[in-house]
Structure 1
């Protein structure tokens, strides 16, 4: 069977042999069980045919424009096999890989420790991206051994030419690293785990380590972006949200739209890749189905794209920002407390903020207006632009809810967590928002509700929790007197009466009503379609 051995990427980038093999049972490379090779399609053209040693066996190898197929060469006089000999069946089986799973091709050399070039040619190494388990992607190698330099050079040339024809794969990336994310590990994460893979795939990078809050936003407003095929953010949810906001804001500027009054935003032409290096990484988890650095990097290298809905936030008719989610009330106050104590270690700061907010738990008197998804869809069928209805079209179809609320969440993405899901039945590009209202209740009941987020139990199954599927929502606090919880008053630079909002992990302070509207598929993120990924199964075992 096909044996794909995974070595250290940092070693493979310079030497495809991948360094020394581990001892004992761990030295055995994984054996990947692939389905039987399908018959060649009419569109599959044979480009080359030759002999290579694969997994210790001489094989007849055929390269087409879409696949690499091989079959072990049978000895001239094989011993007569017993009836039903499975070993004989195994030896005659054709195996294959699809070239769309290959992201790099290198000549394989044997070199001394100090030798940088030359050496003894061993063959060709193909680097593949394959799904292992739980949506994780891994890089593997397939070695085609042959000592003929002309033979290997010809094959490597054909293989590399095929890879250049995958036009969706990036060739140049702008990388933004937030060195202060979580435990200040983002720089290490990039240079130790991400950069070696990007170099292996021969992707050019321009790296900027941000120096202050808002640095990425300022850079994206002024940077020459046309030379890049995508933007990469290494950090947490707040960093990713800032970069997404900057990309979309730049797209509006380039389109000549007044960024103070954005009603119908244009899409950004550049995709965004997110390398999870924050404390929660909710956005990356929702995108990839798992928080895994190599998985995120391989999605970027392979050019997997996922269109994602984005919200606009505005107040009194003036545009505030783009974002994927917002939390008002308990979630906003907790973040405000945490931001006041940035000097604390991340985990300690989060626990402190949670305890302080619970200790002063207090509902907010609000009026909430929203446009249900069904209404918006009906109106869209009548006429309207690509983003649905305008407020005047649905003036009599908005619904209102008022009362005292402990927490209000507005989400355009699923917000996958481990092990639970913050917003069940929500997709990345459904064109709708999940509005979750948590009405006033006792502190013990509210704590019980919060604990459900860390379990598989339904956190929405409480009598004081209401959910709606909407396309727009307006939230108006009715006690416009600011927040005061003892020794800390939350206020912004322009007003003493600002209310704290948690927008994708960033603190946003607003004094009055906030209008949130979803815009379908406004940005593309590097990442695979979760439904397609779940259908792609790969079994690993060890012989």
Structure 2
């Protein structure tokens, strides 16, 4: 796009006196400069990728003169801590220039890969049960301004998403949005990948990995909201909405959990076995406590911690080096408290762990026998994602594209074992289970750039 210039009047707030400006539009930016000989410095510049919508203004204090046309331009304003807000300005210009300006702005908006039709799933009981309120007050107005059509489904039970997607024509939408926590996202991904895979009964040795081209956006209305924080760098709701509206995506991995060679579930954030599975199980049993259960249940499970005699083997080694990892052996055995497999790879940062999406391998962190104090320190660091949370002598790490985990001496035992998948739990039904990495299986609305 060649640079084009327009003379117009501009105001940032409704009712504010408009100032004469020279406005220029290029392929990369919209810039306005004070139209005074004594002041020619740029007042503001907006990246074209941050321009969201433009609407005519017919009445009100923003309309200056009958022979001028007024528009309100909506765009993304960036703030510290990677927070974004929708802002707007009123632009008034001569009718002779209005058609050209409007055409170029609409070409910018329509030329981007932004969604126009979205399917929205709302979990009304996620977090503090504010899913529907978040949608009505914080989401719907922003999507409405940008002309995005929404088909809204309020979930009524577990696996409701699966029953909807089984009959849904995915070619009629440009993406799916989940309003809830990590568990709702996980349920959506599991249903999407099963629907799009040609073999519904996905076996461990199925040669074709599941891949979905329908992007998924996450609105953080749950308790943890870990994945959206990994992706956007913040749990802010409006920021998450604006990432979806802008339409940029990040390729993300999923991990498949297999028992008896058959797929049990897909996970998009974390798979945890042992203590972490029991913590999530207890949280579910204590729903009557409300949000308090997320503090009470983990403590209860921790003080009742028990080791499990395990044999863990990496099915394919990775060339990536991890500090304190077990080298070429790629096998762990003995009594362990838990196994944690984070789907976005977590590496040490200056202060906090940094997530990497779409990595070529999966890291398994095994917690061996240790004191209560050391174990608690480790868990608190993992919970807050502090840098160095896996740098303990009793935490061993192996990497690979998959793992096989076997319970040793479990025959005849009545003990039940649970696997945590993205904040939900599944009962283990086999003494051996496998985990397989599916690289780039899903697209997420958002970017860490």
Same fold (TM over 0.5): yes
CA–CA separation in structure 2 for the residues paired with 1:229 and 1:416: 33
Partner of 1:131: 78
**1:511 matched residue in structure 2:** 429
2:332 alignment partner, SS class:
strand
Determine if the alignment matches structure 1 residue 97 to structure 2 residue 97. Answer: no
TM superposition outliers: structure 1 runs of 4+ over 6 Å: 119-122
Q: Does 1:206 align with 2:206?
A: no
Counting strand residues as a fraction of each chain, which structure ranks higher? 2
CA deviation after TM superposition for structure 1 residue 120, in Å: 11
Supply the distance in 1 between the matched residues of 2:233 and 2:363 (Cα, whole angstroms).
19
Q: Quote the Cα distance in structure 2 between the aligned partners of 1:248 and 1:205.
A: 22
Q: In the TM superposition, what are the counterparts of 1:359-438 in structure 2 within 5 Å?
A: 359-371=303-315, 373-374=317-318, 399-414=330-345, 421=352, 424=353, 426-438=355-367
Asked if the contact 2:72/2:90 (under 8 Å) is kept, the reply is: yes
Q: Any conservation in 2 of the 1:110–1:120 contact (CA below 8 Å)?
A: no
For the residue of structure 2 that corresponds to 1:134, the secondary structure is helix
CA spacing shift, 1:189–1:514, aligned 2, 3 Å = same
User: Is residue 2:191 matched to residue 1:250?
Assistant: no
Is the contact made by 1:282 and 1:416 (CA closer than 8 Å) also made in structure 2? no
State whether residues 431 and 521 of structure 1, in contact with CA within 8 Å, keep that contact through their aligned partners in structure 2. Answer: no
Give the match for residue 14 of structure 2: none
Match for 2:101 among 152, 155, 158?
155
Match of residue 30, structure 2, among 68, 86, 111: 68
The separation in 2 between residues aligned to 1:164 and 1:455, in whole angstroms, is 39
Q: 1:272 to 1:93 in 2, by over 3 A?
A: closer
Bigger Cα Rg: 1
Per the alignment, residue 298 of structure 1 pairs with 242
Displacement of 1:95 in angstroms is 5.5
- In the aligned structure 1, how far is the partner of 2:354 from the partner of 2:24? 45
Q: Which residue is 2:122 aligned to?
A: 177
Q: Deviations over 1:365-384 (max 9, x none)?
A: 1111114543699xxxxxxx
Whether contact under 8 Å (1:179, 1:209) holds in the other structure is: yes
Please tell me whether residue 259 in structure 1 is matched to residue 202 in structure 2.
yes
The answer to whether the 8 Å contact 2:312/2:404 transfers is: yes
1:240 equivalent in structure 2: 185
Aligned counterpart in structure 1 of residue 136 of structure 2, from 165, 187, 191: 191
C-alpha distance 455-154 of structure 1, shift in aligned 2 (>3 A) = closer
User: Is 1:471 the equivalent of 2:401?
Assistant: yes
Aligned mate of 1:460, from 390, 408, 411: 390
Correspondence 1:440 to 2:384: no
Does the CA-based 8 Å contact 1:104-1:127 persist in structure 2?
yes
Q: TM-score normalized by structure 2?
A: 0.87
Q: 1:105 deviation in Å?
A: 0.6
Task: Tell me the alpha carbon deviations over residues 261-292 of structure 1, each in whole angstroms, 9 at most, x when there is no partner.
Answer: 54432311201001011101111111111111
Q: Structure 1: which 5+ runs fail to align?
A: 1-43, 76-87, 113-118, 378-396, 484-495, 533-543
Q: Give the corresponding residue for 2:380.
A: 451
Displacement of 1:66 after TM fit?
Answer: 4.6
Query: Displacement, 1:49?
Result: 4.0
| Pairs aligned (count) | 428
Q: Which whole-Å CA distance do the structure 1 matches of 2:374 and 2:30 have between them? A: 59
